């Protein structure tokens, strides 16, 4: 059996100097992280990851020097969506600051101002930007912005000047008005249908989620887990019983498969070293003789192709809050089959079983 069959599906996220910007200095991690086909060849999305730890910066802003992001709004030939995430695991719905951003052009350009963990959906061909962070409450708890393209290769279809109403100065009228694009911006929801005893007291619970209940036209589902203590994870044995999307979770632990692809992003929250995971994680892909274990302490991506057994995921050390982002190429969660724990799995005495 091929014991390294799944190695091609796991790799560290890469630093992306091609999307760096001098205006990020001392405000946004430089350069940002990225997930794309250079990270995992069979990637189904492109994802840009920004750690914002001070106000006065963002994307699409005018700046000195030639950059890929210099004072223009733009559109894509595919749908794109952004998730704006606070990093306080005890208050995961709070953004931890204030963000202004724009969607549309001309008289239809619409300004949004948010202070909750939120999602922004951008249909193909729609102009968007700038994104300007007006407040960051705590530099030790940065805001993490994920920009998720629904195609594996980043592309821009057109650009235009910034909206006439945008200013980095004080805004007299902060309320977001109603307009053509109002339906595309929504707070993320608390996923009360998820209950897992192994997460309680060690991760934000219930987690937050982006799905069709947040935006009815969404074609993707994203689960967002804030993990802040070791001895937690997914697919782990536990004394209690849990549920996932109304389906029972076996308390003996184990793996499962889906009828769709999933991308796992394991992201730290240190804006001064975004490549650092902030802890140690072990996870598995495959089953029986092909089951393969991965051990990581860097920001990492794991691609799980349709029908592939995956889990458990066990956080053996957490020094600083860690995001586990699960991005699915579907709008409805479902499991295809459930399997037992892989041979060789160890819990190191971290689990209460």
pLDDT by position in tens, the chain (length 353): 456 899 999 999 999 999 998 889 999 999 999 999 999 999 999 999 999 999 999 999 887 655 555 688 999 999 999 999 999 999 999 999 999 999 999 999 999 999 999 999 999 999 999 999 999 999 999 999 999 999 999 999 999 999 999 998 887 665 555 799 999 999 999 999 988 999 999 999 999 999 999 999 999 999 999 999 999 999 999 887 777 766 777 778 899 999 999 999 999 999 999 999 999 999 999 999 899 999 999 999 999 999 999 999 999 999 999 999 999 999 998 888 989 999 899 999 999 87
Residue 348, token pair as written in the block? 């190191």
> Per the domain annotation, does 336 fall within a domain?
no
Please identify which residue in the block is written with the tokens 């057109």. 158
How far, in Å, CA of 103 to CA of 182, rounded? 9
How far, in Å, CA of 305 to CA of 25, rounded? 37
Residue 260, token pair as written in the block? 């769709």
Q: What is the pTM of this model?
A: 0.95
> Per the domain annotation, does 353 fall within a domain?
no
> Per the domain annotation, does 228 fall within a domain?
yes
CATH of the domain at 242: 2.60.120.10
pLDDT given at position 70: 65
> Per the domain annotation, does 37 fall within a domain?
yes
pLDDT given at position 169: 87
pLDDT given at position 3: 62
> Per the domain annotation, does 341 fall within a domain?
no
Q: Which domain holds residue 170?
A: 7-328
Residue 1, token pair as written in the block? 């059996």
Question: How many structural domains is the chain composed of?
Answer: 1
How far, in Å, CA of 121 to CA of 241, rounded? 35
> Per the domain annotation, does 283 fall within a domain?
yes
Residue 347, token pair as written in the block? 């819990």
> Per the domain annotation, does 262 fall within a domain?
yes
> Per the domain annotation, does 270 fall within a domain?
yes
- Nearest residue to 151 via CA among 36, 303, 265: 36
How far, in Å, CA of 89 to CA of 18, rounded? 31
CA terminus-to-terminus distance, the chain: 32
pLDDT given at position 1: 46
């Amino acid at each position: 059996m091929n014991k390294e069959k799944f190695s091609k599906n796991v790799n560290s996220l890469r630093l992306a100097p091609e999307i760096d910007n001098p205006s990020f200095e001392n405000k946004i991690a430089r350069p940002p992280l990225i997930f794309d086909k250079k990270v995992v060849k069979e990637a189904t999305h492109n994802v840009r990851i920004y750690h914002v730890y001070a106000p006065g910066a963002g994307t699409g802003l005018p700046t000195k020097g030639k950059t890929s992001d210099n004072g223009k709004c733009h559109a894509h030939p595919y749908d794109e969506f952004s998730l704006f995430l606070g990093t306080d695991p005890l208050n995961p719905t709070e953004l931890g600051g204030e963000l202004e951003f724009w969607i549309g052009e001309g008289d239809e350009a619409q300004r949004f101002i948010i202070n909750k963990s939120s999602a922004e959906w951008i249909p193909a061909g729609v102009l968007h930007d700038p994104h300007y962070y007006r407040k960051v409450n705590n530099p030790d708890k940065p805001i993490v912005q994920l920009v998720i393209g629904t195609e594996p290769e980043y592309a821009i279809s057109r650009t235009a000047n910034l909206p006439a109403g945008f200013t980095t100065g004080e805004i007299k009228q902060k309320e977001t008005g109603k307009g053509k694009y109002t339906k595309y911006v929504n707070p993320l929801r608390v996923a009360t249908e998820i209950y897992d005893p192994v997460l309680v007291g060690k991760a934000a619970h219930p987690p937050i989620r982006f799905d069709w209940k947040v935006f009815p036209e969404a074609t993707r589902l994203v689960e967002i887990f804030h993990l802040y203590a070791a001895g937690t994870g997914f697919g782990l044995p536990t004394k209690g019983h849990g549920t996932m999307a109304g389906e029972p979770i076996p308390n003996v632990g184990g793996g499962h498969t889906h009828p769709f692809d999933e991308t796992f992003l394991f992201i730290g929250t240190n804006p001064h070293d975004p490549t650092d995971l902030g802890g140690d994680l072990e996870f598995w892909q495959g089953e029986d003789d092909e089951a393969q274990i991965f051990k990581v302490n860097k920001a990492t991506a794991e691609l799980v192709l349709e029908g592939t057994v995956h889990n458990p995921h066990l956080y053996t050390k957490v020094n600083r809050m860690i995001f586990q982002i699960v991005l699915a190429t579907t709008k409805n969660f479902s499991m295809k089959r459930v399997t037992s724990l892989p041979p060789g799995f160890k819990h190191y005495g971290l689990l209460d079983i």
